[in-house]
């Protein structure tokens, strides 16, 4: 049996430290070994306690969470889970943290939240596993994705008729940036479900739009799928589907969580399988759990091409592993090769289109 994940809780609020500690201690596979109120205390605690994982508040006195995270990643790389307010400012800072190398993020509870930090313990355990696997020299434990070389397939790219659907979770921020930065301005219509707290997805879409050549936007109900546009499922309250074979468009549907998630990758992939069949490409990237695996299998059975991120380049080889073991993944690739393969598959044939 694996030893409990050893966690250091860092937050300037004693109330928040107490809440996080109580939530984590309710899981027998997690051990809170210490608390710290600011970065200076946290630095000493890390030296003395050698935790497997740190939960880190974004906004703290003496040194903010981002600056402290940069020092951790530079001097003593380890899994860090950011704890952030569900505000635009908090979302922007958290996205920056994820790009620096934070393992994952959770939102602070809001008034009326009856289950605060509901998935924090699972994320802590996944982070601890990644740390231990990396220490053992096993694959699939990259703290961040390797830089990707320029993609030759983008040169003289002519778009065909396929729709691209991508699903990701833990580690997905950096993975999606890596894939989408290689897309040309006239990329195929692309729909994405990334597990992310409410309000964070708008900031992430804005961030991607600044970094990428196509237009990236948070999906809205009824938005028509167009060449050169990428649609990111909004976090929190609804699932993203694609509908209307005559003029494919986004549909945001109110349903219970699927696989514990809303939006769910499975819900998106199911709808793409039904709408587009062989005129689609499904891609499953790094993430905890199994969301998207069954939907990707449905896409493959419908004739779609399906790609999965390989173990070595995943932050968490969970979702891609389950999809691969189900037979849903036609081709497993390192992260840096996925963008190029998508473009090869979706490019129009010389005679006109697919």
Q: Identify the pLDDT of residue 152.
A: 59
329 φ/ψ angles, rounded to the nearest 5 degrees? -95, 115
Indicate the SS3 state at residue 93.
Answer: helix
Q: Identify the pLDDT of residue 350.
A: 61
The HSE-up count of residue 29 (CA atoms within 13 Å, CB side) is 12
Query: Helix count (H) and strand count (E) of the chain?
Result: 11, 14
Give the chain's residues under pLDDT 50: 138-151, 351-354
Q: Which residues are catalytic?
A: 169, 195, 291
- Determine the straight-line distance between the first and last CA of the chain, rounded to whole angstroms: 52
Cβ atoms of residues 185 and 228 within 8 Å: yes
Cβ atoms of residues 100 and 73 within 8 Å: yes
User: What is the C-alpha to C-alpha distance for residues 26 and 315, in angstroms, rounded to an integer?
Assistant: 26
Instruction: Verify cis geometry, omega within 30 degrees of 0, for the bond prior to 259.
Output: no
Q: 120-135 and 14-25 are packed helices; what angle lies between their axes, rounded to 10 degrees? A: 70
Distances (CA, A) of 315 to 21, 51, 104, 284: 25, 19, 10, 13
User: What is the C-alpha to C-alpha distance for residues 134 and 46, in angstroms, rounded to an integer?
Assistant: 19
Q: Identify the pLDDT of residue 134.
A: 65
Longest dimension (CA), the chain: 66
User: What is the C-alpha to C-alpha distance for residues 75 and 101, in angstroms, rounded to an integer?
Assistant: 13
Q: 88-100 and 65-75 are packed helices; what angle lies between their axes, rounded to 10 degrees? A: 10
Of 277, 306, 275, 281, the residue nearest 293 (C-alpha): 306
């Amino acid at each position: 049996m694996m030893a409990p994940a050893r966690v250091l809780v860092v937050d300037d609020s004693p109330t928040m430290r107490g809440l996080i500690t109580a939530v984590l201690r309710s899981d027998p596979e997690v051990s809170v070994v210490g608390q710290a109120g600011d970065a200076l205390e946290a630095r000493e605690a890390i030296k003395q306690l050698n935790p497997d994982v740190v939960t880190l508040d974004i906004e703290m006195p003496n040194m903010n969470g981002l600056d402290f995270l940069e020092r951790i990643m530079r001097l003593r790389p380890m899994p860090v889970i950011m704890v952030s307010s569900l505000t635009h400012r908090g979302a922007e800072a958290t996205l920056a943290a994820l790009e620096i190398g934070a393992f994952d993020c959770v939102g602070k509870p809001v008034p009326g939240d009856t289950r605060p930090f509901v998935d924090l313990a699972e994320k802590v355990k996944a982070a601890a596993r990644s740390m231990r696997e990396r220490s053992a020299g096993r694959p699939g434990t990259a703290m961040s994705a390797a830089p990707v070389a320029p993609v030759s397939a983008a040169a003289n790219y002519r778009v065909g008729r396929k729709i691209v659907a991508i699903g990701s979770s833990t580690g997905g921020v950096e993975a999606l940036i890596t894939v989408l930065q290689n897309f040309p301005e006239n990329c195929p219509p692309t729909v994405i479900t990334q597990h992310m707290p409410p309000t964070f997805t708008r900031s992430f879409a804005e961030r991607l739009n600044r970094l990428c050549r196509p237009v990236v936007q948070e999906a809205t109900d009824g938005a028509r799928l167009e060449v050169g546009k990428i649609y990111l499922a909004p976090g929190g309250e609804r699932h993203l589907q694609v509908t209307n074979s005559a003029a494919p468009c986004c549909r945001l549907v109110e349903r219970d969580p699927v696989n514990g998630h809303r939006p769910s990758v499975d819900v998106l992939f199911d709808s793409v399988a039904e709408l587009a069949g062989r005129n689609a490409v499904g891609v499953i990237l790094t993430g905890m759990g199994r969301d998207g695996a069954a939907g990707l299998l449905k896409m493959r059975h419908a004739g779609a091409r399906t790609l999965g991120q390989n173990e070595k380049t995943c932050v968490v080889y969970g979702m891609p592993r389950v999809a691969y073991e189900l037979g849903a993944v036609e081709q497993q690739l390192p992260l840096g090769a996925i963008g190029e393969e998508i473009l090869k598959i979706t490019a129009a044939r010389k005679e006109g289109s697919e």
